[in-house]
Amino acid sequence: MARKFFVGGNFKMNGTIQGIKDIVHRLNDAKLDGTTEVVIAPPALYLLLTREHLNPEIEVAAQNVFDKANGAFTGEISASQLKDSNITWALTGHSERRTVLCEKDEFVARKTKAALDEGLGVILCIGETLQERESNETINVVTRQLNAVAENTKDWSKIVIAYEPVWAIGTGKVASTEQAQEVHASIREWLGKTISSEAAENTRIIYGGSVTDQNCRDLAKQADIDGFLVGGASLKPAFIDIINAKL
């Protein structure tokens, strides 16, 4: 069975009430590829607003989730609270949280497990820095990040892996189709060896890193690229073209 194409939009710390409504209405009115799963991740403040106004066929993700169910954790949001609010996905491990907020692999793994335990889908972000790529450490870095999650989680049916080379996020640089496909194939090989052949066959591995309406179609043709996690372009009308990359 073919893996369903997946496109996520990570708004990051961008948007206003009116701006979010405009994006939502644009998505609601657009003719979207019905064979592509679409999930958007607005800032936490706008999660309920987005869910209220968005077409129910498009899902909503939190940009972050905590690893505890409740308690004295100021500023955090639990998986159970997201589920209670009909927010069905969460991002974990984004490079900005790993680098700016110093989140370690083990913490990302615990957050991923907490979300999965509540029945949420998880977009698990992994990727290497420019220095790590130039040192030929790409595969070692992404498998280290994946191994941390594998120690806690054996069921990967609700995980979408987002490979995001850090050097290509928001820089305008993009990995070539060959570079992206090579890493995606290595991740799928890791899934087969570490999790199961079923996980290797069924887990979607999406690409993030300056994806645009100009490069998305070539990337989408690669055998192991099952979609995209889009940053800045998800705020623009071009996001529609990226969602429809397979048409």
Q: How far is CA 56 from the centre of its chain?
A: 19
Q: What's residue 2's pLDDT?
A: 87
Active-site residue (options: 37, 94, 96, 184): 94
Q: What's residue 168's pLDDT?
A: 81
Nearest one of 181, 185, 180 to 203, comparing CA atoms? 185
pTM: 0.97
| pLDDT digits (tens), the chain, 247 positions | 689 999 999 999 999 999 999 999 999 999 999 999 999 999 999 999 999 999 999 999 999 999 999 999 999 999 999 999 999 999 999 999 999 999 999 999 999 999 999 999 999 999 999 889 989 999 999 999 999 999 999 999 999 999 999 888 777 777 789 999 999 999 999 999 999 999 999 999 999 988 999 999 999 999 999 999 999 999 999 999 999 999 9
Domains and CATH numbers, the chain: 76-247 (3.20.20.70)
Does residue 94 have an active-site annotation?
yes
Q: What's residue 1's pLDDT?
A: 64
**31 and 236 in contact (C-beta within 8 Å)?**
no
Residue 70 one-letter amino acid: N
Handedness of CA 6, 68, 102, 50 (dihedral sign): positive
Task: Give the C-alpha distances (Å, rounded to integers) separating 175 from 79, 163, 164.
Answer: 33, 11, 10
**170 and 232 in contact (C-beta within 8 Å)?**
yes
**130 and 167 in contact (C-beta within 8 Å)?**
yes
Helix (H, G, I), strand (E, B) or coil at 238: helix
Active-site residue (options: 59, 96, 103, 164): 164
**235 and 223 in contact (C-beta within 8 Å)?**
no
